[in-house]
């Protein structure tokens, strides 16, 4: 089965499924894989960390919307929570921490720097995901990050292979 | 969803009318730039939630030439001028036919990309001018930045930033993007283009209120 993951989402599945996600720019695609159980998880991380809730607006009805509850989207959209969320799911599938390795792709800066366009969030996304991997003692075995181009990813759960596709570039396996 | 944050059908129709007026000005301005007759067809104008943009443009992975600008003033946010990458050849031919020797500085860094950047700049300017004339909103745009890639990566930082800050995540469904679809025709070439106007979360109310106020009673 091919499982498609959208921005800010994450999923865990097992061999022989393929998890795909497309159109990643400043986002980071994180894959975790347990080669023994052939179980893997992918998260399409959007932001470095969860911000405190914005203050309610004085007018305009925006504050009338109920705040987004933590866990509504599993915390996959933030670098700070995506790894624990994926790990939780993987442990439920019987994975053990010592068998899990990680690969990451993305974190690009899509437009050249102008004064109008301050430093992008891509770099910060990559930095935070790397730091979280260190904190969780998950080895990073492959990466394709930075640059100025978008990426799509195919994650093969039979082998743990991660294929990175980009516009006008050769496919790259990490 | 409260009615202050989205446009009604009547308001969208009014916006369309306003954009149609701007289209005439766009054609005149482009004719001057390209030194040839330019026709800009009546654009399709509609609003969308930002997350629906990739499917409206033709897919998350559709290669596009993207000119990005920031909006300042009464309404802040971002604007994108998008031309599908497959139109690049047409653009090059048009630029070659139309601008022979006209703008040497454009030739240095690839006449097709520079021409699209310039066209994006002009179209953005005339549409913002129309909004100013009708809705009395002063909106300025920054110098453009250009990138060629799959569509979604070009806007994912925008989508991510719009969802920043806990409570605002929900707002992403209340804010909208104004999409102006048009065809620029000149020198026998027709180029399909999209202009996207993405008002920031805090500007949406101001924009909608101004459109409401400007509408004939």
Residue-wise pLDDT for B184-196, tens only, equals 888 788 888 999 9
The model's confidence at residue A117, banded by pLDDT at 50, 70 and 90, is low
Answer whether residue A19 is part of any domain. yes
Is there a catalytic annotation at residue A95? no
Bigger pLDDT: A145 or B177? Answer: A145
Residue A151 has pLDDT above 50, yes or no: yes
Tell me which of A28-37, B35-44, B91-100, B164-173 is least confident. Answer: B164-173
Answer whether residue A128 is part of any domain. yes
pTM over 0.80: yes
Report the domain count for chain A. 1
Question: What is the predicted pLDDT for the residue at A88?
Answer: 92
Answer whether residue A54 is part of any domain. no
Residue of A nearest to B171 (CA): A62
B→A contacts (Cβ < 8 Å), by residue, are 2, 4-5, 54, 60-61, 63, 68-70, 142-143, 145-157, 159-161, 163-171, 174, 201-202, 204-205
- Please tell me if residue A118 touches chain B, with a CB cutoff of 8 Å: no
Say what the ipTM of the complex is.
Answer: 0.82
Residues 6+ apart with CB under 8 A from B148: A167, B63, B64, B65, B66, B85, B113
Question: What is the predicted pLDDT for the residue at A113?
Answer: 63
Round to whole Å and give the CA distance between A6 and A15. 20
The model's confidence at residue B172, banded by pLDDT at 50, 70 and 90, is very low
Answer whether residue A7 is part of any domain. yes
Across residues B126-155, what is the average pLDDT?
Answer: 90
Residue A142: both structure tokens together: 């492959």
Answer whether residue A111 is part of any domain. yes
Answer whether residue A108 is part of any domain. yes
Of the candidates A23, A50, A121, the beta carbon closest to that of B150 is on A23
For chain A, percent of residues with pLDDT exceeding 90: 66
The model's confidence at residue B112, banded by pLDDT at 50, 70 and 90, is low
Residue A162's domain comprises: 2-49+70-173
Answer whether residue A60 is part of any domain. no
Assign residue A124 the CATH number of its domain: 3.30.1330.200
Percentages helix, strand, coil for chain A (3-state, rounded to 5) are 20, 35, 45
Answer whether residue A123 is part of any domain. yes
Asked if residues B47 and B179 have their Cβ atoms less than 8 Å apart, the reply is yes
């Amino acid at each position: 089965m091919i499982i498609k993951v959208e921005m800010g989402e994450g999923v865990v599945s097992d061999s022989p499924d393929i998890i795909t996600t497309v159109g990643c720019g400043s986002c980071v695609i994180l894959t975790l894989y347990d080669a023994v159980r052939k179980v893997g998880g992918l998260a399409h991380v959007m932001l470095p960390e969860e911000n405190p809730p914005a203050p309610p607006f004085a007018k305009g009805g925006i504050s009338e919307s109920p705040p987004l509850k933590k866990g509504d989207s599993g915390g996959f959209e933030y670098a700070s929570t995506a790894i624990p969320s994926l790990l939780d799911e993987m442990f439920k599938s019987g994975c053990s921490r010592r068998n899990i390795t990680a690969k990451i792709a993305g974190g690009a800066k899509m437009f050249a720097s102008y004064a109008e366009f301050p430093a992008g969030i891509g770099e910060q996304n990559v930095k935070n995901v790397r730091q979280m991997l260190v904190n969780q003692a998950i080895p990073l075995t492959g990466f394709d990050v930075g640059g100025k181009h978008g990426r799509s990813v195919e994650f093969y759960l039979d082998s743990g292979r991660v294929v990175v596709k980009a516009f006008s570039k050769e496919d790259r396996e990490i | 969803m409260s009615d202050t944050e989205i446009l009604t059908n009547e308001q969208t129709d009014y916006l369309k009318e306003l954009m149609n007026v701007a289209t005439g000005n766009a054609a005149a301005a482009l004719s001057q730039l390209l030194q040839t007759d330019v026709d800009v067809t009546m654009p399709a104008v509609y609003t969308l939630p930002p997350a629906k943009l990739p499917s409206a443009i033709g897919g998350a992975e559709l290669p596009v030439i993207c000119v990005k600008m920031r909006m300042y003033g009464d309404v802040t946010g971002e604007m994108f001028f998008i031309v599908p990458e497959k139109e690049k050849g047409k653009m090059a031919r048009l630029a070659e036919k139309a601008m022979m020797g006209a703008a040497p500085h454009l030739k240095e860094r690839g006449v097709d990309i520079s021409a699209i950047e310039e066209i994006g700049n002009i179209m953005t300017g005339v549409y913002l001018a129309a909004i100013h004339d009708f809705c009395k909103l002063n909106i300025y745009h920054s110098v453009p930045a250009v990138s060629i890639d799959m569509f979604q990566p070009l806007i994912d930082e925008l989508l991510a930033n719009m969802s920043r800050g806990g409570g605002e995540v929900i707002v992403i469904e209340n804010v909208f993007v104004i999409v102006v679809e048009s065809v620029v025709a000149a020198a026998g070439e027709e180029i399909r283009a999209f202009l996207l106007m993405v008002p920031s979360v805090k500007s949406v109310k101001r924009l909608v209120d101004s459109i409401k106020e400007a509408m004939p009673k």
